[in-house]
Chain A
Amino acid sequence: ETGVTQSPTHLIKTRGQQVTLRCSSQSGHNTVSWYQQALGQGPQFIFQYYREEENGRGNFPPRFSGLQFPNYSSELNVNALELDDSALYLCASSHVTGPHLGELFFGEGSRLTVL
């Protein structure tokens, strides 16, 4: 069983640039969520995708956008980067049924630094 994989693992951008982060969900999972984890803080919910549709959004501005593809992989796009966007971005996959209902399976994250 393949776990959640994220790419890139680390990246550095400058203020105003755009970034795309990628996530492959765990085999059999049809739901993907994205979280932002600032240094020393807990993960903050950005949004969730289920069957290619946004299924919930946290308190993040529209410059944070996402996609889910038919194979359930996902992208997080952030436009007009700001210094405060520097964080670890975590992708988590889950399934809406079964013995692991409610469990988030996290990847190791993409560490974004905005200079």
Chain B
Amino acid sequence: QQQVKQSPQSLIVQKGGISIINCAYENTAFDYFPWYQQFPGKGPALLIAIRPDVSEKKEGRFTISFNKSAKQFSLHIMDSQPGDSATYFCAASTDNFNKFYFGSGTKLNVKP
């Protein structure tokens, strides 16, 4: 049973375009929703995270949109750059942070 479902599996975007990755969850006890970025041969690194008490969080070109009633959240990458080409994982955790459930990943390719 997958706790966090992520789509699409892969995404190709032109440089300067908007990349959108979506995630859905079922467990209403989840209280923290991070996005991680992983480059080949590297471990995942935190990109941005949100708590369910806000509907949107923006850091530079990266924005998380959160819909608590629909139990969905998404990552938007504005003005996508070739350097953004990586695999992105959404995740969810309860507020004790002792266990994170990750989505299956989205491989983003930004074409120059």
Contact = CB atoms under 8 A, between A and B. Distances in A.
B62 interface: no
A56 B93 contact: no
B44 interface: yes
A42 B105 contact: yes
A71 to B, nearest CB: 21
Interface residues of B, number: 24
Interface in A51-95: 55-56, 58, 90, 92, 94
Given A41-B104, A41-B105, A43-B102, A90 B43 contact: yes
Interface of B: 4, 6, 32, 34, 36, 41-46, 49, 89, 91, 93, 97-105
Contacts of A58: 99
27 contacts: A4-B43, A35-B102, A41-B105, A42-B6, A42-B89, A42-B91, A42-B103, A42-B104, A42-B105, A43-B100, A43-B102, A45-B100, A48-B99, A50-B98, A56-B98, A90-B44, A92-B43, A96-B97, A102-B93, A103-B46, A104-B34, A104-B36, A104-B44, A106-B43, A106-B44, A108-B42, A108-B43
Interface in A1-15: 4
Contact of A102 (B32, B42, B101): B32
Contacts of B32: 102
Interface residues of A, number: 26
Contacts of A104: 34, 36, 44, 46, 100
